[in-house]
Chain A
């Protein structure tokens, strides 16, 4: 990967402050669900922001604080590269995310990053996920860090892609207006909602995301599975995948923990001997199942 000037400077100049913030400008805003927005961003200095699918930024609203937020767009999309833009998809749950919600196009906030390992090493190269089949299983906002993977796969048209997605209600689903494009691009989309309003027009399933596993066509040995969602959801998903014969080495999970620094120093995201911020957030289930203090 080509290194940015910053990275080169950072490597030769270790005194470069890793807490330094970069201003970003909101160039696009989209209400995704009632409490989720997608922010299209550009670095204020015009330079290009590089990242890998599954990585995250520490997003700052000065005076409020910082929160870890994944990149939700495809880092290799040509149009975005030309414009120097990328996206975050954020659900308002607390201080920073609610402060972000008040911002408008043209407003600025700050980031530092990217942090974390991203989806399996080698992605989107050959080793994992590129030529073999891939199933992504997401719950709620957990689809945000998987969207870069979905877009990348569809652009490359390699291997089968299945998307199993569940949310509390149909209205809570992220990226609904892209589902058609994803399906036309060759993805098999399987949807479920925990509950639906009486009389709602919902031709898909009702129930937990695990209810979709029987519909999967990709079988153990044919590819990989990437999972992101609440920990209870990931727990039941991996349990059922294991019962269906999926080897733990081929199932990858993105964990969430509280993070203050993203740099392995604040200690907040420690689970057993790993730091979720840098050793993760993505781990194979083979690793996760051995960790003390994670109930998956």
Chain B
């Protein structure tokens, strides 16, 4: 079928070449966004501001760390109190970050945090300020990482909502020629960005190729977890002897919870400067793996490491479903990568549910 070659796209789905990435990044920068993308630094995929798209590494899959700190930083000041005047000062700045190359699993993780911070009775204005204007240029995954299990969790390897632009590597036609990417527009903001790019109008076949590549990726995931009836099975398995086995290996280092894109627990604390003039009320990430997490006067509700490990995994594979209606594990596999004890949440889930 002859293709309609377009010099300037009108803002619709298209097939494009890699050079277009730079136009998208530049387009975002011109609109005032700081564009974050995965950059390969000494083998680690790090989200950092891109100068241009040349720095971006397609091979980083989801990134060694999730881009979570763009919308939920590890430390932040909620307000400052001037001890002399007795005045409060709150500085909520709306950020203009864009993420280039975020993966479907991390978009699902972002949507999970949206529910936590904006979906309840109280809306977190700090989170909101970083979230309201956050263009997402999503890359579907055409190659599964060693520890990915997004297709089990229903969060990847493809995305079909909540993107501004969605890019799928279609490969080279017949294995030769130039690389081709399907560029899909998911919002008017994405349409704006796509307007004027060089490319060809997308045809049915392109979507077929995309579909096939995503199916292959899903099939290539080596880790799987059957989520059918999982919350109930996890509930029933709360006293399964395997928890003890896993706990005996766990160091309690909290690496897993530190890298998880959906973890949101926090401490709120006060910090006063040396002049005793100002106190800042701050919020910082906290983790259910820390001993003090459940400590209160007269006791600790999760005294034993087994309680803390179980809390982490039960929350991801069971409790979150009751709280929000979906799992807070998006199958990104980062906790598996980062665990010094080779503890694998999917494996644990399989054993507890009786599949392994």
CB of A158 within 8 A of chain B? no
Q: How far is the CA of A18 from the CA of B122 in the complex (A)?
A: 6
Asked if B120 and A292 sit within 8 Å, CB to CB, the answer is: no
Interface positions of B (Cβ within 8 A of A): 78-79, 81, 83, 88, 90, 92, 116-117, 120-125, 128, 235, 238, 264-270, 272, 279, 281, 283, 286, 288, 293-299, 301-302, 307, 310-311, 314-315, 318-323
Q: How far is the CB of A29 from chain B (nearest CB, A)?
A: 22
CB of A76 within 8 A of chain B? no
Q: How far is the CB of A37 from chain B (nearest CB, A)?
A: 16
Asked if A65 and B122 sit within 8 Å, CB to CB, the answer is: no
Q: How far is the CA of A292 from the CA of B90 in the complex (A)?
A: 39
Q: How far is the CB of A82 from chain B (nearest CB, A)?
A: 28
CB of A220 within 8 A of chain B? no
Task: Sort A-B residue pairs by CB-CB distance and give the 7 closest, nearest first.
Answer: A273-B322, A267-B265, A263-B122, A93-B297, A18-B122, A260-B268, A266-B266
Asked if B124 and A62 sit within 8 Å, CB to CB, the answer is: no
Asked if B297 and A94 sit within 8 Å, CB to CB, the answer is: yes
Given A62-B270, A94-B297, A292-B235, A265 and B302 touching (CB < 8 A)? no
Q: How far is the CA of A268 from the CA of B121 in the complex (A)?
A: 17
Asked if A65 and B121 sit within 8 Å, CB to CB, the answer is: no
CB of A17 within 8 A of chain B? yes
Residue of A nearest to B263 (CB): A267
Pick the residue among B79, B264, B270, B301 that contacts A19 (CB under 8 A): B79
What are 19 A-B contacts defined by CB distance under 8 Å?
A15-B123, A18-B124, A20-B88, A64-B270, A65-B269, A65-B270, A231-B299, A260-B267, A260-B283, A261-B268, A263-B121, A263-B124, A264-B120, A264-B121, A266-B265, A268-B293, A268-B294, A270-B311, A293-B310
Residue of A nearest to B298 (CB): A230
Task: List residues of chain B with CB within 8 A of the CB of A14.
Answer: 123
Asked if A258 and B116 sit within 8 Å, CB to CB, the answer is: no
Task: List residues of chain B with CB within 8 A of the CB of A266.
Answer: 265-268, 283, 286
Residue of B nearest to A294 (CB): B301
Asked if A263 and B281 sit within 8 Å, CB to CB, the answer is: no
Task: List residues of chain B with CB within 8 A of the CB of A63.
Answer: 83, 270, 272, 279
Task: List residues of chain A with CB within 8 A of the CB of B269.
Answer: 65
Asked if B78 and A265 sit within 8 Å, CB to CB, the answer is: no
Q: How far is the CA of A256 from the CA of B125 in the complex (A)?
A: 27
Pick the residue among B238, B286, B314 that contacts A268 (CB under 8 A): B286
Q: How far is the CB of B43 from chain A (nearest CB, A)?
A: 32
Chain B at the A interface: SS class: mixed
Given A65-B270, A267-B265, A19 and B302 touching (CB < 8 A)? no
Q: How far is the CA of A20 from the CA of B117 in the complex (A)?
A: 16
Q: How far is the CA of A37 from the CA of B283 in the complex (A)?
A: 29
Given A19-B281, A63-B279, A268 and B322 touching (CB < 8 A)? no
Q: How far is the CA of A21 from the CA of B80 in the complex (A)?
A: 12
Most buried by B among A19, A21, A263, A266: A19
Chain A at the B interface: SS class: loop
Asked if A273 and B296 sit within 8 Å, CB to CB, the answer is: no
Q: How far is the CA of A264 from the CA of B295 in the complex (A)?
A: 18
Task: List residues of chain B with CB within 8 A of the CB of A16.
Answer: 125
Task: List residues of chain B with CB within 8 A of the CB of A275.
Answer: 323
Task: List residues of chain A with CB within 8 A of the CB of B320.
Answer: 273
Given A64-B270, A278-B121, A272 and B322 touching (CB < 8 A)? yes
Asked if A263 and B120 sit within 8 Å, CB to CB, the answer is: yes
Q: How far is the CA of A265 from the CA of B121 in the complex (A)?
A: 10
Asked if B294 and A257 sit within 8 Å, CB to CB, the answer is: yes
Q: How far is the CA of A196 from the CA of B348 in the complex (A)?
A: 51
Task: List residues of chain B with CB within 8 A of the CB of A293.
Answer: 301-302, 307, 310-311, 314
CB of A133 within 8 A of chain B? no
Task: List residues of chain B with CB within 8 A of the CB of A18.
Answer: 122-125
Residue of A nearest to B264 (CB): A267
Q: How far is the CB of A99 from chain B (nearest CB, A)?
A: 11
Q: How far is the CA of A94 from the CA of B299 in the complex (A)?
A: 13
Q: How far is the CB of B324 from chain A (nearest CB, A)?
A: 9
Task: List residues of chain B with CB within 8 A of the CB of A17.
Answer: 90, 92, 125
Task: List residues of chain B with CB within 8 A of the CB of A260.
Answer: 266-268, 283, 286
Of residues 261 through 291 on chain A, the ones whose CB sits less than 8 Å from some CB of chain B are 261, 263-268, 270-275, 278
Residue of A nearest to B324 (CB): A273
Task: List residues of chain B with CB within 8 A of the CB of A19.
Answer: 78-79, 281
Task: List residues of chain A with CB within 8 A of the CB of B123.
Answer: 14-15, 18
Task: List residues of chain B with CB within 8 A of the CB of A231.
Answer: 299
Q: How far is the CB of A257 from chain B (nearest CB, A)?
A: 7
Task: List residues of chain A with CB within 8 A of the CB of B310.
Answer: 293
Asked if A256 and B307 sit within 8 Å, CB to CB, the answer is: no
Q: How far is the CB of B308 from chain A (nearest CB, A)?
A: 10
Most buried by A among B238, B288, B293, B294: B294
Pick the residue among B81, B117, B321 that contacts A265 (CB under 8 A): B117
Asked if B301 and A257 sit within 8 Å, CB to CB, the answer is: yes
Task: List residues of chain B with CB within 8 A of the CB of A263.
Answer: 120-122, 124
Asked if B321 and A273 sit within 8 Å, CB to CB, the answer is: yes
Q: How far is the CB of A103 from chain B (nearest CB, A)?
A: 15
Q: How far is the CA of A18 from the CA of B295 in the complex (A)?
A: 25
Q: How far is the CA of A15 from the CA of B90 in the complex (A)?
A: 12
Given A268-B293, A273-B322, A274-B322, 13 more contacts at CB 8 Å?
Answer: A18-B124, A19-B281, A65-B269, A65-B270, A230-B298, A256-B296, A258-B296, A266-B267, A267-B286, A267-B288, A268-B286, A273-B318, A273-B319
